[in-house]
Every structure is written in structure tokens, then in C-alpha cells.
Amino acid sequence: MVYKQLIEQCVNKNVKAQQELYKIFAPKLFGICLKYCSNKTIAEDLFQESFITIFNKIHQFKHQGSFEGWTKRITINTVLQYYKKQQYHQPIIDDMITDQAEEIDIKDTNINLNYLLELIQELPNQYRLVFNLYVLDGYSHSEIGKALNISIGTSKSNLSRAKQLLRKKLENKREIKMIRA
């Protein structure tokens, strides 16, 4: 593993090693916080909290699997715990579950990635969490259900609703472009 020596130095509380590890992983982990949070301030707070947890638990990393994956899981879990503690995590339960949600085709929309992130951040918390976990981080509906304490059906429904809202926002952007043209 490339980071093994750096990790061992961090276990021994070497400040320079911690700074180096921070520089390496900060952009990716902050990006995760941004995509899960509704605003930059919350993302910054959770990003810092994630790094505190990483440095406090780095001795638990067993050098099995990817260190980057380990840090990402800690970051995602930090965000999920925040929403559970803040009472923002209210499951949105839909009676109608759409099994065949239309896919969002962003290839044809010429969408800027930062704009897409803004649209995702505008989603209601539950939809945003499920969307990010499923679409962007590859969690299964079963894993999402366990992480968010919701049923698999609710996870599927929330994903479908998130996609519908994003699709509507993207269509509105196209309509605005046509009006301005």
C-alpha cells in the first residue's frame, strides 16, 4: 500500500504526516460532504468532523482494502449521523413506488457538474441522501435502508422521487434557455 508509512506516522500522532494525509484526501472528502449536504457551511463542518474521526480512528485501519475507501465510509457515516441527530432525517414515505424510474440523461443537457451538484443540494434531505448513496456511491437499497433506518421500498420510492425532481429542474433549465434564445 502506498500510504502505509504515512498512516503509521499518523497513528503515532506525527503532525506533518497528518497534514500530508489531509492534503491528499481533503478534496475528495470535501466533495463527498458537498454532495450530501444542503449547503457549504454544513459541508465544511462535517468535513472537519470527518477528519477528526479519521485521525482518532486511524489506528483501527487494518491495511485491508483501500484506505481511501475507509476514509470515504467515515465521511459518509459522519454526514448520515449528522442528519439523524439534527432531526432533519425524516423519512419520506410514499405509497406509490415507481419501479421503473426514467433515467436522467445528462449527456444531452450540456450540464455543468457544479450546477448539477447545486440541483442535488436543493433536493429534500431524504431524497438527496438516498440519491447520493444509490447513484453516486453505489449502495444497494438494502444498504441504504439499514443506514437510514427506512424500508427498501421507501428507499426505492425516494430515489424515484429524487430523479423526478432533478429531471423537472433540468427541464426547467432547458425551457429558460429556450426563452432567452
Indicate which CATH number applies to the domain containing 36. Answer: 1.10.1740.10
Q: Is residue 91 part of a domain?
A: no
Q: Is residue 158 part of a domain?
A: yes
Indicate the residue among 41, 65, 85 that finishes a domain. 85
Contacts of 59 (CB under 8 A, 6+ apart): 11
Q: Is residue 128 part of a domain?
A: yes
Helix 113-122 with 15-36: angle, nearest 10 deg: 70
78 and 121 in a single domain? The answer is no
8 and 67 in a single domain? The answer is yes
What's the CA gap between 36 and 112, in Å, rounded? Answer: 18
Whole-number pLDDT of residue 44: 96
Q: What is the pLDDT of residues 118-153, one digit of tens each?
A: 889 899 999 999 999 999 899 999 999 999 889 999
Q: Could you tell me which of 82, 90, 73, 70 has the C-alpha nearest to residue 37? A: 82
Whole-number pLDDT of residue 179: 54
Name the one residue in this structure whose C-alpha cell is 438494502.
142
What's the CA gap between 132 and 144, in Å, rounded? Answer: 10
What's the CA gap between 11 and 23, in Å, rounded? Answer: 17
Q: Is residue 65 part of a domain?
A: yes
Q: Which domain holds residue 22?
A: 4-85
Q: Is residue 137 part of a domain?
A: yes
Which pTM was predicted? 0.76
Query: H or E segment at 146?
Result: helix 141-148
